[in-house]
Amino acid sequence: MAMLSINDLPEDVLVELLSHVAEYDLIHCCRLVCSLWRDVVDMPTLWKRKCQLEGFSPKGGIRIPDDWKSFYFLFKLRKNLIRNPCAKEGFNSWRIDEDGGDKWAIEELPGGHGQPIPLPDVKKYFVTSFSYAARYDCGCQYEVCVQLLSEDFIVLQEFCPEPVLIDQWSDAKWRQMSHTFRNYGPGVRHIKFQHGGKDRQFWAGWYGVRVTSSSLVIEPPISDGQ
């Protein structure tokens, strides 16, 4: 009876087997076994399969990653780059440039007005005062601007959408705003968040916009091709 080795397996079977190996073992061990394994580990098919196995899927329908290996590792390592996004550490890691009304404050859920935030891990939030107020019986205009800055604080790219108008007697539901910066090039060293707006009646106290769970992540590169 002839003896067969793992290298005698069809390529697709070898890809399937290796796709179950931990990523760092693939790079530092499997890839060094022989030229065949090196070529298989370098195949986009293997890293695409690992993405499928671990639930890493690109957003945007038909858009696919430019490089499945890079996509895998960036997705594996992706994390929120903003420290203290939910006010667990007070105002640590945040610098307040303007502090209108009764100043910014921090509340614990379910304090304040309106509906609970639909994020079970969030226990606190930053809350604005009457300079930006939004409450059930007082409408407001909310504004946000996010800027990518160079080391010298030069604006490289910015996201400043139209103001959000919240009507009086609104449902006071939480609203999520998101944006993806693309093709901004090298040199980004700082990111500036600016919240603002105005209410229609100036009642003292912390009835303002609630801000929590701010998130900044680096998304893996994808393309518009099939």
155 pLDDT higher than 80: yes
Encoded tokens for 16: 């399937």
pLDDT in tens, 191-200: 888 877 677 6
Is 112 a residue whose pLDDT tops 50?
Answer: no
Question: Is residue 88 situated within a structural domain?
Answer: no
Q: Are 137 and 201 in contact (CB under 8 A)?
A: no
Asked if pLDDT for residue 23 goes beyond 80, the answer is: yes
Least confident of 14-18, 36-40, 208-212: 208-212
Q: Which domain covers residue 27, as residue numbers?
A: 6-78
Q: Is the CB of residue 132 less than 8 Å from the CB of residue 199? A: yes
129/178 same-domain check: yes
Biggest CA pair distance of the chain: 89
- Give dist(CA 3, CA 190) in Å, integer: 60
Same domain? For 65 and 131 the reply is no
CATH of residue 110's domain is 2.60.120.260
What is the pTM for the complete model shown? Answer: 0.56
Assess whether 199 and 127 both reside in one domain: yes
Residue 59 has what pLDDT?
62
Mark whether 117 and 183 lie in a shared domain: yes
| pLDDT confidence of residue 2 | 59
Q: How confident is the model at residue 128 (pLDDT cuts 50, 70, 90)?
A: confident
Q: Cβ distance 100 to 118 under 8 Å?
A: no
pLDDT for 134 equals: 55
Distances, alpha carbon 168 to alpha carbons 104, 138, 142, 165, 221, in Å = 22, 5, 13, 10, 42
Mean pLDDT for the chain overall:
79
Q: Are residues 110 and 199 in the same domain?
A: yes
Domain count, the chain: 2
Least confident of 30-34, 130-134, 195-199, 206-210: 130-134
Domain check: are 109 and 187 in the same one?
Answer: yes
161-172 pLDDT, tens per residue?
A: 998 887 777 766
120 and 199 inside one domain:
yes
* One domain for residues 163 and 205: yes
Residue 190: HSE in the Cβ half-sphere, 13 Å Cα cutoff: 12
Is residue 125 assigned to a domain? yes
User: What is the pLDDT at residue 141?
Assistant: 78
**Residue 68 forms part of a structural domain:** yes
Confidence of residue 103 (pLDDT cuts 50, 70, 90): confident
**118 and 206: one domain?**
yes
